[in-house]
């Protein structure tokens, strides 16, 4: 689990690292803390990209405070879970504006904090089964990863074919395939990313999918695709 922590107190950062290590040992989960000592540093380093499972923000910091930082984060990422740490309860209602996941009071209660991390882990597990895409009509749609047959690159957009429908989405092919990197999907061609679950067979330089679609298998991708397909069917599914 990758956690971002913005806190201007170095001692608090060290204590957070220790707590995350204890949590990881208990739950047998690798924990990574990415610490920022100011809101300005976090905004500069992240540049609008927040690839974290959770963002923990201290509200009372010098310069830009944690609440203002949360508003900036939400401009580019409406979904990353945000957890506030504060010594005052007065900020709770303002947190609704940035869809804060939780508020925890300082000094941090470890047992309570661990319960929140467990919730983050549960959310992560659920979200890994879905892909959030934006259609050409700018509608946000959740697509079940297990239902995806394949993705097809289409210029700057992507065509997604599932067991029940297909849609064109505004996200790039590369960004979506990166999100699906740890699934049972492989490239059979630089423009096609295929779910091995729905491969019926290979015929020459084509792969036949369950829905009858035939997709090209490029010479550059053929060996890796074949190896992946063999490994998939030899494993316990």
pLDDT tens-digit profile of 200-210? 889 989 999 99
Q: What is the number of domains present in the chain? A: 2
Q: What pLDDT digit, counting tens, does each position of 76-90 carry?
A: 887 789 999 988 776
Q: Residue 236 above 50 pLDDT?
A: no
Cβ contacts of 179 within 8 Å, gap of 6 or more: 131
The whole-number pLDDT of residue 82 equals 95
- Threshold 0.75, pTM exceeds: no
Which residue, 99, 127, 155, sits at the end of a domain?
Answer: 127
- In this structure, are 74 and 143 located in the same domain? no
Of 216 and 138, the one with more pLDDT: 216
- In this structure, are 143 and 103 located in the same domain? no
Cβ contacts of 227 within 8 Å, gap of 6 or more: none
**Nearest CA to 189 among 173, 175, 172?**
173
> How far is it, in rounded angstroms, from Cα 167 to Cα 195?
16
Of 151 and 201, the one with more pLDDT: 151
Domain residues for the domain of 184 are 130-234
Q: What pLDDT digit, counting tens, does each position of 100-148 carry?
A: 888 898 999 999 999 999 999 987 776 668 888 999 998 888 898 889 9
- In this structure, are 150 and 193 located in the same domain? yes
- In this structure, are 87 and 24 located in the same domain? yes
Q: Residue 94 above 90 pLDDT?
A: no
- In this structure, are 121 and 75 located in the same domain? yes
Continuous segment of H or E residues that includes residue 27: helix 10-27
- In this structure, are 23 and 38 located in the same domain? yes
- In this structure, are 42 and 89 located in the same domain? yes
Q: What are φ and ψ of residue 60, in 5° steps?
A: -90, 95
- In this structure, are 111 and 144 located in the same domain? no
- In this structure, are 64 and 150 located in the same domain? no
Q: What pLDDT digit, counting tens, does each position of 162-186 carry?
A: 998 999 999 999 999 998 987 889 9
The whole-number pLDDT of residue 72 equals 96
- In this structure, are 119 and 143 located in the same domain? no
Q: What are φ and ψ of residue 211, in 5° steps?
A: -85, 5
Q: What pLDDT digit, counting tens, does each position of 17-74 carry?
A: 999 999 999 999 999 999 999 999 999 999 998 889 999 999 999 999 999 999 999 9
């Amino acid at each position: 689990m990758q956690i971002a922590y913005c806190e201007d107190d170095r001692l608090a950062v060290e204590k957070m690292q220790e707590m995350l290590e204890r949590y990881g040992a208990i739950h047998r989960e690798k924990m990574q803390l990415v610490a920022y000592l100011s809101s300005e540093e976090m905004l500069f380093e992240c540049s609008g990209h927040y690839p974290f499972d959770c963002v923990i923000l201290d509200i009372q910091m010098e310069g830009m405070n944690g609440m203002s930082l949360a508003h900036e984060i939400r401009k580019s990422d409406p979904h990353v879970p945000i957890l506030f740490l504060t010594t005052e309860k007065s900020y709770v209602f303002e947190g609704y504006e940035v869809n804060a996941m939780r508020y925890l009071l300082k000094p941090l209660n470890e047992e309570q904090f661990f319960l929140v991390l467990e919730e983050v882990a549960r959310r992560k597990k659920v979200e890994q089964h879905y892909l959030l895409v934006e259609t050409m009509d700018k509608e946000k749609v959740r697509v079940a990863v297990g239902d995806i047959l394949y993705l097809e690159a289409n210029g700057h957009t992507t065509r997604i074919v599932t067991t029940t429908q297909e849609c064109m989405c505004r996200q790039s092919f590369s960004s979506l395939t990166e999100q699906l990197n740890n699934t049972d999907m492989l490239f059979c061609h630089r423009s096609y990313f295929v779910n091995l679950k729905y491969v019926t067979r290979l015929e020459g330089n084509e792969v036949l999918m369950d829905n009858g679609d035939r997709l090209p298998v490029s010479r550059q991708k053929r060996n890796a695709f074949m190896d992946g397909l063999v490994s998939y069917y030899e494993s316990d599914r």
